Chains A and B, each alone.
Chain A
Amino acid sequence: MQVFDVFLLEAVLNGLLFGGVLALLALGLNLVFGVIDVVWICYAELIMIGMYAVYFLYAVYHVPLPIAFAAGILLVSVCGVLLHVLVIRPVLNTEPINQLLVTGGVLFFLQAAATLAFGVQFRNLGLSLPSLALGEIFLPYSRIFAALTALVAMVALYLFLKKTYLGTAIRAISQDRQIMPLMGVNPARIYVITSAIGGALAGLGACLLVLQYDVHPAIGLSFGPITFLVCVLGGLGNMIGGFVAAFIFAQFISVGGFFFHIEWGYVMAFVFFIVMMFVRPQGLLGRKQ
């Protein structure tokens, strides 16, 4: 019985660590949706680009890891801007379905392009970080580092949105975009900046994931759907809601996986999601339409 409890605690702690990273992933998607009103269907594929970038820089070209991380974040940030300017802006004022379709198209394009360029094999950094031992509980340092970094990034983004003129404008534009010029704000510029930040968050997510997981062309499928579900569960566009939902989902997967099997953890999380969509279709903290 004693051992049982310790492993349950380990599952809960792992769920918390996973929740931190999941919350970071959801944050970028929520930010872009909340501000630009467009869902980046290819969000997880941007993360894939970042993971490949870090992998090649570090494992193939032997660039120091911090520099590889910085370059990965910058690259995905630029990808976010390009996605907005080249793909989304031309269809921004058309039917919402068009925006879903074009970013969905980018998803398949990036998957196919990655397969063509890098092949289907799984690649990893070849790092083996030790684990933190707390009695009988072992927590990998890579997970601890990822969760703490995600937390720091989220606090930094919160302060930016709350305390700066630019951050206030980013929050304001989602509430009334038509009058933004009256404040001296160029909405097009805010969209580009938001896309850069959304991309940078995806890039940071990539750095944290590549420490723990292998990268391959379909890696987006492992994180894309769950990130969307977290966002929708929290209330699409609601950053606080996404944060809460990420930890709920992570606990379902981690603790559910502990009691049964990791796949059952996912099944339970999705069943919970479906039930919640009937109970609170607007999301946990979403506003009623």
Chain B
Amino acid sequence: MLELRNVSAGYGAFQALFDVSLRVDAGEAVAVIGPNGAGKTTLLRVISKLVAASAGDILMEGRRLNDLEAHRVIDLGIAHVPENRRLFPRLTVEENLRMGAYAPAARARFAERLASAYALFPRLAERRDQPAGTMSGGEQQMCAIARGLMSGPKLLLLDEPSAGLAPVVVQRIFEVVRRIRGEGYTVLIVEQNVQQVLKVVDRAYLLEIGRIKASGPAAELGASGEIRRAYVGL
């Protein structure tokens, strides 16, 4: 579904990604793990065109994304749930979800998707008229994921959904990721919580200082001594 071929990218003189190649097949859940500052967030931002690739190709279902404007990416079925949730704090929960359905194709199915978002996250239904910024971190993350689903994406990009949340909430977030997979979405997730994320994905890539250092099935990567020592803390 999604393929990156030898992608490099950065901000001005600072290069964040070097020659990164990765693939996500339809129906898969894939994680990109690695330490802070490895370039994980940049990787997702390159896919959604918030950051331009300086070299290499980005392909979604065979279509090259490189020259696409950022606001057109969602039309290809890619939804990006950004780092730190980035809800519109003074819009209500429901208005945030409406923004997720802004693309013309999504507007026609707003009511239907709103109902399924509230079915998936009953808490959001209770808080639909509350400003999003007044909710707890966990609720905000649910809302951010729900907003991403409102466009009816084929591929969902999740950036650090567990960051800054209490352990019990982190459990719930990964449970949500598992359920989203179950509903047939393809997921590319970036995480620092390596131990948890490897339980819910099929495959993973290890990104270090902007380069892919290792990749493979989640179970295999999780079992590798090096990764266990460095990232799982066992």
Interface string of A166-191 (1 = CB under 8 A from B): 00110110011011111111110000
B69 A186 Cβ-Cβ under 8 A: yes
For chain B, which range describes its interface: under 10, 10 to 19, 20 to 34, or 35 or more residues? 20 to 34
Interface SS of chain A: helix, strand, loop or mixed?
helix
Cβ-neighbour of A184 out of B86, B95, B103 (below 8 A): B103
Given A182-B82, A184-B74; A165-B88 close (CB under 8 Å): no
Residues of A within 8 A of B90 (CB): 171, 175
Given A168-B91, A184-B102, A184-B103; A179-B86 close (CB under 8 Å): yes
Cβ of B186 within 8 Å of any chain A Cβ, yes or no, is: no
Given A165-B107, A168-B99, A185-B102; A180-B91 close (CB under 8 Å): no
A171 B75 Cβ-Cβ under 8 A: no
Query: Can you list 5 A-B pairs with a CB-CB distance of less than 8 A?
Result: A165-B98, A175-B89, A180-B71, A181-B49, A187-B71
B102 A183 Cβ-Cβ under 8 A: yes
Residues of B within 8 A of A185 (CB): 71, 99, 102
Chain A's closest residue to B150 (CB) is: A183
Number of interface residues of A (CB under 8 A): 17
List the interface of chain B (C-beta within 8 A of A).
48-50, 69-75, 79-80, 82, 86, 88-91, 95, 98-103, 106-107, 151
A182 B74 Cβ-Cβ under 8 A: yes
A184 to B75: give the CA distance in the assembly, Å.
7
Residues of B within 8 A of A186 (CB): 69, 71
A186 to B48: give the CA distance in the assembly, Å.
13
A172 to B107: give the CA distance in the assembly, Å.
17
Residues of B within 8 A of A175 (CB): 88-91
A181 B102 Cβ-Cβ under 8 A: no
A184 B71 Cβ-Cβ under 8 A: yes
Chain A's closest residue to B106 (CB) is: A184
B71 A181 Cβ-Cβ under 8 A: yes
Chain A's closest residue to B82 (CB) is: A179
